[in-house]
Structure 1
Amino acid sequence: MSMDKVFQKVTDQIVAALEAGVDGSFELPWVRMKSVAINAKTGRRLVGISQLLCSMSMVEHGFETNKWLTMKQANELGGKIDKGSKSTLVFWLRPFLEVLVDGKKKLISPEGNQLHEAMEAGEPIIWSYRFAPYFNVEQISDLPDEMYEPVNQTLAHGLGDGFEPIQEAEEFVRMLQSSTDPLKLIHKGVSAHYAPGLDQVVMPQREKFKSELGYYSTIFHEIGHWTGHQSRNAREGIVNFDRFGSSKYAFEELVAELSASFKMAEMGLEREVREDHIHYIADWIKVLKNDPKAIFKAAQDAARAVRYVNKLVDEHQPALFESVA
């Protein structure tokens, strides 16, 4: 079977799943450490959007501990913010009650039981966002030792020492790392992602994954994103990323997933397309329904991504043989 037919077969499989729809929710192929963002001094849980923002910051910086402090709190605890540290905005909602003062409406901050009583009475409550810059405890030196201890975390029930590398896939990634356009790959943290600003792929340690195929499916997905860099295939979703959940973001995710499927199939690793991946794409593909050709363009871009990495490795192979001759 030609590679074009292999690409078409995989594309048809994913398109059929998208059209049929898949029940269930997205599950990462490895077991993540479970934690919620908390204020390290008060022990209070951060709320709403702050959980997402702190999670994104942990992914970006590779933090392992989901504890946060304001600069003032850090100073009060004897800590010192590390030079060059980037803060994370933490938001909270502050309630206000509308009252009449001298015949004029005025907003006041509720005290004591005022908020509870107003809610019980069905009175209108106005909520206003407030925010402040917070720092992860790993960005702060000289805090008490207990501040650095992980919170609400359970270690992965992944493969552990039982991980058995798939030789062809391992060799391909290794050669990509030492090619003329070397892949920057690091293993740390609990989230797999491609960081365009640093132009690097970040993966959790292999033993965190539930299966070997889960690991390789994920790394080829992130390598797919890597090919979208300005210096490579210059895809819009990477070069001009706008926001999570946008049509541009959904399209780029589809390209990365297809490229991973193509590469796995090319290596003879004929995996069944994971339902959690399909559901993830299906959630985003809704925003692409205004363009019925989007799936085909995504498949073309994915094939181009695979051709790019294959060319790098093919060019590198003769040099390897020559060096040991």
Structure 2
Amino acid sequence: MAEKNNNTPEKKNKFAETRENFVNAVIESLEKGKIPWQKTWDADCGNNLLYNPVTGTKYKGVNNIMLIYSSYAKGYEDNRWVTFNQAKENGWSVRKGEKGTPIEIFKFYDKSTKKDLDMTMYNSLSPAEKVEYFTKNVYIVAKNYTVFNAQQVEGIPPVEKKEVKNIDYNKIDKIMENCGVPITHKGSSAFYSPSTDQIFLPEREAFHSENDYYATALHEIAHSTGHPSRLNRDLSGKFGSKSYATEELKAEFASVFIGQEKGLNYNFENNIAYIQSWAEVIKNNHEVLFSAIKEASKITEMVLGYEKGKVLSKELTKGKDKGNEVEI
């Protein structure tokens, strides 16, 4: 029997390798002082959300950031993304030599049925039954799919230009009114105080525009969701600490997501110390990037819910994020 060659390199997990490449690219950008998730596409399409024009899927969470980064790195200004087959099926074609952008899909398989998890059945279970069933019978398979920006696709119709509407600041006012946190206008700094559960903002006149004022307010409201009565995050870190940098990263991503939903631009020049601290914490633990994006999705859901007077407790948000949508 032939001797086993112990020098044969192990086959890399493609999903893990793709994530590692993405994190390294983000770190490299941050170390150069560049924030790679700032908006680059044309908002005249009607909103800031990245989406698939074939399925109507709006990309969220990690996929949202991956595609924003790709837009930033490659200069894409179109916010539409499709797969190779979707382009082909619609009579379009991906230009020869174009490289796509990987996104993540999580599928849930049922060990007992050997099929996809029956969500109708699963949702009919009690909370306790769901935990038991998921633990015993369900396993998650993570996969990568490749999508192409509309600028890489020949034959795709030009993006439909919609009438650009002014941002409805009344809706953001509702969020500020219903967030449950007193907002005081004074001083020259914007911050959230965890000890008193208060937000402090400079007077409106101190901001360059309404966009800047509301974007800043929403950023501080994002921080306030970390209060023990809400999502209960660690807000004890001081400037320069790992926990402080991690919380700022969560609020940063939440600000991007909320800005997309509300049509706000969130392209402020961040202090270089913040950017370097993000690079440092991510470099020390790559998973920090993904956990921050995941938490930012929960923050976004809570903050947007304030508009309709909806308040989610930390109990209601536990376990809600089971991965990205299967539809791409």
Same fold (TM over 0.5): no
The interval holding the TM-score normalised by the smaller chain is 0.3 to 0.5
TM-score normalised by L of structure 2: 0.44
TM-score normalised by L of structure 1: 0.45
